[in-house]
């Protein structure tokens, strides 16, 4: 699904989503015309397992991880699991990040990209907060995954990406927490507060002067989504009140209706 100004529109879910539910909603995401299904990798939810379930039920839908921390799984491990699961390389993107790596984080990221390139055929996307990580990703990765950015901050990030990429084709992807009903507002506020308490994200919010809630979308207001159509790909990371199938389907349909 391609939105205004050539922005591809995708859906994001968590790695803790029940696999039976994933198998039911993945075909709906594909039928609605979304570009890809992105899956948050979590300590209690492996994104590659979720992608494998979605791949079983779809044939054209893009599949992506957002993102696997390298302190949880290193490049060779990720590549081996991609091969073992038989994930469709032609539809797959592997998103990685430094996670809890502190010392030598940029070197670890560069090694991880190289290891994935050598171990599987899927493009590599890097989750990047700070300017040094973004500059490195623009030079070595196939895409950068931005997170918790206002439209204004996203526009600045895209301009910097184009300059840092120096002619390379690097996709700018923005992961945006999205709700479609008033019942989900409390969950959205809780998510924003939780990320504000994470050192790296809190520092980034302070550096950019961002209120994290200003970087979210409410699909009840069409203008809310339209303001974010300034990146190559916009991922509507679904936030619902309870994570029920009905709520996820409603959000998927609400996003598709605004394209």
* Residues 96-114: tens digit of each pLDDT: 999 888 889 999 999 999 9
Residue 188 near residue 213 (C-beta atoms within 8 A): yes
Residue 82 near residue 48 (C-beta atoms within 8 A): yes
Q: Is the pLDDT of residue 3 over 80?
A: no
Q: What is the pLDDT of residue 102?
A: 82
Q: Where do we find the tokens 């979308």?
A: 217
Residue 167 near residue 178 (C-beta atoms within 8 A): no
Tokens of 95: 């998103």
Q: What is the mean pLDDT of residues 240-247?
A: 97
Q: What is the pLDDT of residue 91?
A: 98
* Full domain range(s) for residue 223: 4-257
Residue 127 near residue 147 (C-beta atoms within 8 A): yes
pLDDT band at 214; cut points 50, 70, 90 = very high
Residue 243 near residue 230 (C-beta atoms within 8 A): no
Return the DSSP state at 148. S
| Exposed/middle/buried for residue 192 (C-beta within 10 Å: 0-12, 13-18, 19+) | buried
Q: What is the mean pLDDT of residues 133-137?
A: 97
Residue 126 near residue 143 (C-beta atoms within 8 A): yes
Q: What is the mean pLDDT of residues 206-225?
A: 95
Q: What is the pLDDT of residue 86?
A: 97
Q: What is the mean pLDDT of residues 208-212?
A: 95
pLDDT band at 259; cut points 50, 70, 90 = confident
Structural domain count of the chain: 1
Q: What is the mean pLDDT of residues 42-55?
A: 96
Torsions phi, psi for 63 (to 5 deg): -135, 135
Q: Is the pLDDT of residue 177 over 90?
A: yes
Q: What is the pLDDT of residue 101?
A: 86
Q: Mean pLDDT of all residues in the chain?
A: 95
Residue 98 near residue 109 (C-beta atoms within 8 A): yes
Strand bridging mode 8-14 / 36-40: parallel
CATH of the domain at 178: 3.20.20.30
Residue 83 near residue 113 (C-beta atoms within 8 A): no
Separation between Cα atoms, residue 87 and residue 52, nearest integer Å:
6
Q: What is the pLDDT of residue 1?
A: 57
Separation between Cα atoms, residue 225 and residue 221, nearest integer Å:
7
Query: pTM of the entire structure?
Result: 0.96
Tokens of 210: 């961002």
For 49-72, how does the pLDDT look when each residue is reduced to its tens digit (9 = 90+)? 999 999 999 999 999 999 999 999
Q: What is the mean pLDDT of residues 151-176?
A: 97
């Amino acid at each position: 699904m391609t939105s205004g100004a050539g922005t591809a529109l995708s859906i994001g879910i968590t790695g803790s989503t029940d696999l039976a539910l994933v198998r039911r909603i993945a075909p709906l995401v594909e039928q609605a015309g979304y570009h890809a299904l992105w899956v948050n990798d979590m300590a209690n939810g492996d994104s590659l397992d979720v992608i494998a379930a979605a791949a079983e039920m779809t044939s054209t839908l893009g599949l992506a991880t957002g993102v696997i921390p390298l302190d949880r799984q290193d490049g060779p491990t990720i590549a081996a699991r991609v091969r073992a699961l038989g994930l469709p390389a032609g539809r797959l993107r592997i998103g990685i990040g430094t996670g809890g790596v502190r010392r030598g984080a940029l070197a670890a990221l560069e090694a991880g990209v190289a290891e994935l390139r050598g171990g599987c055929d899927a493009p590599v996307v890097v989750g990047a907060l700070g300017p040094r990580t973004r500059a490195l990703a623009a030079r070595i990765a196939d895409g950068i995954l931005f997170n918790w950015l206002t439209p204004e901050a996203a526009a600045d990030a895209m301009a910097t990406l184009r300059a840092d990429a120096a002619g390379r084709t690097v996709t700018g992807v923005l992961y945006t927490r999205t709700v479609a009903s008033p019942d989900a507002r409390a969950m959205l506020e809780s998510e924003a507060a939780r990320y504000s308490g994470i050192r790296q994200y809190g520092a980034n919010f302070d550096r950019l002067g961002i209120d994290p809630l200003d970087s979210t979308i409410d699909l009840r207001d069409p203008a809310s989504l339209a303001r974010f159509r300034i990146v190559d790909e916009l991922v509507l990371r679904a936030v619902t009140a309870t994570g029920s199938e009905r709520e996820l389907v409603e959000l998927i349909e609400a996003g598709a209706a605004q394209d």
